[in-house]
């Protein structure tokens, strides 16, 4: 479905938490890369013939019996390799050196000294900070390898066999805590691997439009539009390619934020495609009545979504293709968990292809990261409010109302959340994600001369890059007080506002 650049860098994932960050670093330098699990790496390298290979870090010790390994044969393929942390230790072990448990675990940034005669560090300063995170240490290098960096605590912080084009760092060049990480990747990609910078979104748009036209011919395509970034950008791209052969169906489950359904309806009606807006809010509310348990809510909403969508889809005759806004992290996640399915489990349309028979599923974004999808959206002139939309869970406000959902609670939350978001949007520095949650508790208050007994509202605002971990956004207390006043004065049913000060982990970003 996607014409990939001829050159590819393969990132071998040894169960490391930073594999995706490595992939982002490579793509930011306009080089195409894919992540492959260590079990599949050997075959992938043979078939994809990458220009270079990067071994990720990982949580294991290389000398354990069951730790991730790789077929040693790849060291003789003459393909440049960059090993990072666990990847570096694996190179040492497999090629005849020695790795041992360190006396103390090393975590944090440390001043590191470099040999700039190494191609990997050429043009850099001779000393800068790197991030170390390891419990084992390399004590002896394999034959022909040379040390290229050291720190006070780590004698072998980087090493290489430049003849064999094998390079390795004990530290993590992919994280921002390591200075000049980008330069290290540039050196590896352009000086060692001699890659070209040929991964550009303009080309992606051009190629995908061409391919979609060719593949779809004069047939019809159906798209479930969720209002989120991925499906909106996909709609824009498909519209460019096939115009009226595309039908986008938007199912309003009623759990969207204030005014959102209306805005989506009026925005997409103007597009040169068939747009079907289904107001199913009453159906969803009825099905969810009395349900308190979060996972059950999600399941019911997912199932109801499929039923409603299926009914609408059947009205459109002879549709051969279903388009989905699946993106690369969804694929990586399902691969990492060893699940067969490549359909977004988070996504509303999970389960659709099994229910309705389509000739083919179109997933043009299956190798793209979110930022890349956003860039495509910008290049296709989608408005800022769609392209930079905050993540919003498929089940919507239904999982931001703790416990049972009623129409009354939904209205209260919509109003309060709207006030909160409008206020936060005025801030110069905004959090990555922010929303209100209606708690399932009531408390006593005094309003005027009267006693009140109303709902409590929690406000959540977090700082995050990847949404896997999150810090609490330091909202000024005066601002919080002002927001609280505004909410309590304007939203009947709330008399107390709380600010969530929990990081992820241990809490998740959403409450349910």
CA distance linking residue 405 with residue 253, whole number of Å: 13
Within positions 3 to 62, which residues make up the interface with ligand XMP, using CB under 6 A? none
CA distance linking residue 471 with residue 503, whole number of Å: 5
Residue 40 tokens, joined: 């599949």
What separation, in Å, do the N-terminal and C-terminal C-alpha atoms of the chain show? Answer: 36
DSSP one-letter code for 326? -
Cis peptide before 378 (omega within 30 of 0): no
Q: Is 421 in the site for ligand XMP (CB under 6 A)?
A: no
Residue 125 tokens, joined: 């300063």
Report the residue from 346, 370, 389, 430 that binds ligand XMP according to the rule CB under 6 A.
346
Q: Which is nearer to ligand XMP, 377 or 393 (CB)?
A: 393
| Residue in this structure with the two tokens 């989120």, named with its chain if needed | 228
How many residues make contact with ligand XMP (CB under 6 A)?
Answer: 11
Q: Which is nearer to ligand XMP, 200 or 366 (CB)?
A: 366
Listed in sequence order, the DSSP H helices in 107-228 are 181-186, 201-216
DSSP string, 358-415: -SEEE-TTTT--HHHHHHHHHHTT--HHHHTPPP--TTGGGGSB-SS--HHHHHHHHH
Q: Is 395 in the site for ligand XMP (CB under 6 A)?
A: yes
Q: Which is nearer to ligand XMP, 55 or 255 (CB)?
A: 255
- Determine which helix (DSSP H) or strand (DSSP E) holds 260, and give its type and residue range: helix 260-269
Cis peptide before 505 (omega within 30 of 0): yes
Coil vs helix vs strand at 25: helix
User: Nearest CA to 158 among 138, 143, 144, 176?
Assistant: 138
Report the residue from 148, 304, 433, 484 that binds ligand XMP according to the rule CB under 6 A.
433
What are phi and psi for residue 433, nearest 5 degrees?
-145, 140
User: Nearest CA to 367 among 340, 331, 333, 337?
Assistant: 331
Q: Which is nearer to ligand XMP, 100 or 466 (CB)?
A: 466
Q: Is 389 in the site for ligand XMP (CB under 6 A)?
A: no
- Taking the complex as a whole, the smallest distance from the CB of residue 346 to ligand XMP amounts, in Å, to 4
Residue 74 tokens, joined: 């790849």
172 is known as an active-site residue: yes
384 is known as an active-site residue: no
Report the residue from 83, 393, 431, 493 that binds ligand XMP according to the rule CB under 6 A.
393
Q: Which is nearer to ligand XMP, 154 or 226 (CB)?
A: 226
Q: Which is nearer to ligand XMP, 191 or 389 (CB)?
A: 389
Catalytic entry in 85, 193, 232, 454: 85
What are phi and psi for residue 320, nearest 5 degrees?
-105, -25
28 is known as an active-site residue: no
Give the contact letters, 457-476, x = binds to ligand XMP (CB under 6 A), - = no.
Answer: ----------x---------
Q: Is 445 in the site for ligand XMP (CB under 6 A)?
A: no
Among 38-46, 56-64, 118-126, 393-401, the segment contacting ligand XMP (CB under 6 A): 393-401
Q: Is 396 in the site for ligand XMP (CB under 6 A)?
A: no
Q: Is 394 in the site for ligand XMP (CB under 6 A)?
A: yes
Q: Is 227 in the site for ligand XMP (CB under 6 A)?
A: no
Q: Which is nearer to ligand XMP, 84 or 373 (CB)?
A: 373
Strand partners, 279: 252
- Determine which helix (DSSP H) or strand (DSSP E) holds 307, and give its type and residue range: helix 294-315
Among 214-222, 418-426, 493-501, 504-512, the segment contacting ligand XMP (CB under 6 A): 504-512
Q: Is 509 in the site for ligand XMP (CB under 6 A)?
A: yes
Catalytic entry in 33, 160, 172, 512: 172
Q: Would you tell me which residues interact with ligand XMP (CB under 6 A)?
A: 346, 391, 393-395, 433, 467, 504, 508-510
- Give catalytic residues, as residue numbers: 85, 172, 174
């Amino acid at each position: 479905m996607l014409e990939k650049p001829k050159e590819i860098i393969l990132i071998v994932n040894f169960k490391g938490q930073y594999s995706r960050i490595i992939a982002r670093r490579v793509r930011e330098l306009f080089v195409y890369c894919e992540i492959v699990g260590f079990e599949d790496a050997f075959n992938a390298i043979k078939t994809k013939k990458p220009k270079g290979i990067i071994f990720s870090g990982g949580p294991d010790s290389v000398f354990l019996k069951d730790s991730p390994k790789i077929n040693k044969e790849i060291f003789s393929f003459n393909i440049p390799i960059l090993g990072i942390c666990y990847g570096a230790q694996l190179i040492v072990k497999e090629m005849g050196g020695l790795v041992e448990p360190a006396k103390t675990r090393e975590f944090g940034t440390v001043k590191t000294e470099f040999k700039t005669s190494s191609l990997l560090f050429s043009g850099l300063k001779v000393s800068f900070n790197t991030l170390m995170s390891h419990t084992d240490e390399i004590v002896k290098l394999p034959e022909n390898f040379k040390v290229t960096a050291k720190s006070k605590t780590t004698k072998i912080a980087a090493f290489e066999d430049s003849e064999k084009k094998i390079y390795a760092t004990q530290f993590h060049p992919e994280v921002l805590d390591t200075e000049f990480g980008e330069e290290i990747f540039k050196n590896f990609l352009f000086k060692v691997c001699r890659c070209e910078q040929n991964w550009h979104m303009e080309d992606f748009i051009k190629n995908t439009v061409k391919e979609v036209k060719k593949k779809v011919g004069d047939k019809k395509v159906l798209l479930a539009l969720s209002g989120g970034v991925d499906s909106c950008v996909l709609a824009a791209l498909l519209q460019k390619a096939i115009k009226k052969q595309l039908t986008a169906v938007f199912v309003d489950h009623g759990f969207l934020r204030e005014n959102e359904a209306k805005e989506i309806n009026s925005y997409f009606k103007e597009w040169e495609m068939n747009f079907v807006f289904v107001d199913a809010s009453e159906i969803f509310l009825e099905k969810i009545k009395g349900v308190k348990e979060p996972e059950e809510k999600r399941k019911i909403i997912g199932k109801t979504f499929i039923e409603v969508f299926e009914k609408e889809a059947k009205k459109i005759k002879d549709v051969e293709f279903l388009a989905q806004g699946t993106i690369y992290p969804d694929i990586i996640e399902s691969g990492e968990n060893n699940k067969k399915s490549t359909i977004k489990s988070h996504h509303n349309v999970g389960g659709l292809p099994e229910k309705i028979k389509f000739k083919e599923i179109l997933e043009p974004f299956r190798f793209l990261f979110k930022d890349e999808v956003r860039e495509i959206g910008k290049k296709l002139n989608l408005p800022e409010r769609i392209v930079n939309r905050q993540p919003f869970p498929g089940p919507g406000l239904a999982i931001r109302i703790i416990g049972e959902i009623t129409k009354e609670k939904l209205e209260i939350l919509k109003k309060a959340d709207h006030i909160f978001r409008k206020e936060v949007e005025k801030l110069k520095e905004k959090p990555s994600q922010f929303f209100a949650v209606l708690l399932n508790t009531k408390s006593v208050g005094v309003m005027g001369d009267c006693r009140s007994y109303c709902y409590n509202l929690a406000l959540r605002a977090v700082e995050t890059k990847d949404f896997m971990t999150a810090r609490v956004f330091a909202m000024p207390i005066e601002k919080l007080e002002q927001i609280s006043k505004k909410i309590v004065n304007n939203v009947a049913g709330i008399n107390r506002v709380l600010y969530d000060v929990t990081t992820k982990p241990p809490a998740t970003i959403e409450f349910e």
